[in-house]
Structure 1
Amino acid sequence: MHSQAGKQTGKQATAVGSAANKAQATSECQPGTLKGTLDSAGTSQAEMNHRGTFLKVTNTGDETCVISGYAGLALEGAGHTAIKTTTRHGSTYFATDPGTHPITLAPGKSAWADLVWTTTGADTAHAKYLQISPTGSNSHSTVTFSKDLDNGTLSLTAWSPEPPIND
């Protein structure tokens, strides 16, 4: 079972629903101003051979910007060797995909995505690191990710203003 240890206080980011003109006034987040990390957000995502955590991307720049869509991901093994990675976009075992929509990030604010993998032992990939490209560009953060996962396959939701988790 997954549980939420505590509710997030305040919004981490603001969704820009139908205010398209406001989104256009704010520029797209540039890869160099975003830092990707892994964060449990106070929840446990482990059930029926599924494991998960959240991707968190933080605006480290000086200006408000907009992000949308899905992060780019790549697994690395020992010595940062590339591992064949398949990323499935959409709902995960633990979260419904919020769909792609613009999220406005003020400096220091974050957006979230749910990251899930399975551990049944089928063609196990032994990852040591995960590359996170918040905008899908070549610019990325590399984080420690010592996980065994099936077939090098990851499931990922779109960016969301709060950690996307089904209650």
Structure 2
Amino acid sequence: MRTSIIPRLLASSALAAALWLVFAVVRWGLSQIQSGAAQLARLIPEVVPPVLMWGDSGAWVILTMAVGAIAVALTHALVTSLAGRSDDGMLVAAWFATVAAGALVGFALDLASAWGALIDFGPRGLLVGEFGAAAASGALWGSAVGWMPGLVAGAPGRAAAAEPRTVRRPAWLLPAAAIALVVVLATGVAADDARTAAIEADVAAQQQAEADASFGAPPDPAAAGAPVPEIAGASVEFDPQWCTPDKATVLKGEPDAATGHRALPIQLMNFSDEPCVIEGYPDIAFGDQNQHLLAVTIEQGGSFMSQDPGPRRIEVPAGGYAVAILGWDAASPHGALVTKTVYAAPTAGMMRGSWPIDLDIVEGSTVAVTAWAIDANPSSGG
């Protein structure tokens, strides 16, 4: 290549790279606007796949665009030198080179954005997403703006040539352009990895924030466990005076707390017109956030906040109440299986009622339950 053509070729390729960079930057900038103006980005050819222009990827966005622009310049110079045989054909050659450079760099970026799917699924992975969109947009971009680098490349030299000058390609240009395209691919893959890592970090942070703000571990639909039985396994014969479900019902009272200790009254209300009798301890169970039976040890007796009167037969008057107290030590619910539902029956062998409630009775806790006693002040329990 004669020296009079070299500056024009370099200027033409530099202009092509600058135009590509302007289109990429402007489209990216418009897409970051949180308003209707972001729709203007759709009017600009998508020379870089959107997944590689994710805002939170930081410096990778800038690096991807910079490396892409360099690759456009080198590819443009290579194709121009191959297609332009003389001064007369430089305008068309440079215009065609702009189309080719946009398409080749776009294809490398398309391949980078689909690299993960390609590794996981082979050639079928290229069917995921919009593979080829950047290459097509790059070719469209080159068709629209290629006349400008073409005019620069085809401009007449300062001195008229005695004979037509031929274009000779420098030996280093082919490997330089090939390396640039490989670097574009590698940079795009790294940018996509950075985007994926940033998204995963955001998701993990959000999950952690939700876990910190929630009571207990988040529900897990895949968690193993057994549902809470409706009736505890017991064989009991009840005499006619017993507080059976047709005469009485179990109610949940209001929880109470002291430093490091908790209590929850469970009431038995006789809603019939006749007295009924109850003896012993209520049947208690707990359900976790996965609607499974929570592994809790139930002990009959008193706790820090209650005294156990011991099991004895008591008569609950019509409209009257009996009460039993659950007691346990406070525990951290963070990330744990916790009580989301309390189940109770007057005694084992009867149908359990249930109430949704958040309690810091966690997996492995020990809960003490007192025997039934007449509730002399039922308003304080329910």
Aligned with residue 287 of structure 2, among 70, 76, 79:
76
Counterpart of 2:360 in structure 1 is 148
Larger helix fraction of residues: 2
Measure, in 1, the Cα distance between the counterparts of 2:252 and 2:258.
Answer: 19
**Matches of 1:144 and 1:110, distance apart in 2:** 22
Aligned pairs (5 A) from 1:123-138: 124-138=336-350
Larger Rg: 2
Give the TM-score of the pair, scaled to structure 1.
Answer: 0.70
Shift of 1:88: 0.9
Q: Which runs of 4+ in 1 moved over 4 A?
A: none
Give the structure with the higher percent strand: 1
1:116 aligns with 2:327: yes
Structure 2: unaligned runs, 5 residues or longer: 1-238, 378-382
Matched, 1:29 2:243: yes
The CA distance in 2 between the partners of 1:75 and 1:51, in whole Å, is 15
Aligned length: 137
**Residue matched to 2:192:** none
CA distance in 2, matches of 1:128, 1:32: 27
C-alpha separation in 1, matches of 2:376 and 2:343: 20
* TM-superposition CA deviations, 1:91-125 (whole Å, max 9, x none): 11112111111111123211011111222339954
- Give the drift of 1:48: 3.1
Q: Could you tell me whether the CA contact under 8 Å between 2:331 and 2:360 is conserved in 1?
A: no
Distance in 2 (CA, whole Å) between partners of 1:79 and 1:124 is 11
CA distance in 1, matches of 2:320, 2:290: 32
The one-letter code of the counterpart of 1:145 is I
Instruction: Say if 1:85 and 1:143 are closer, same or farther in 2 by CA, change over 3 A.
Output: same
Residue range with higher mean Cα deviation, 131-140 or 118-127: 118-127
Matched ranges for 1:1-167 at <5 A: 27-40=241-254, 45-78=256-289, 80-121=291-332, 124-150=336-362, 151-162=364-375
Letter paired with 2:348: G
* Identical positions, percent: 24
Q: Which runs of 5+ in 1 are unaligned?
A: 1-24
- The Cα RMSD (Å) is 2.6
Q: Secondary structure at the match of 1:142?
A: strand
- Using CA pairs below 8 Å that are at least 6 residues apart, which structure has the higher relative contact order? 1
Query: What is the TM-score of this pair, normalised by structure 2?
Result: 0.33
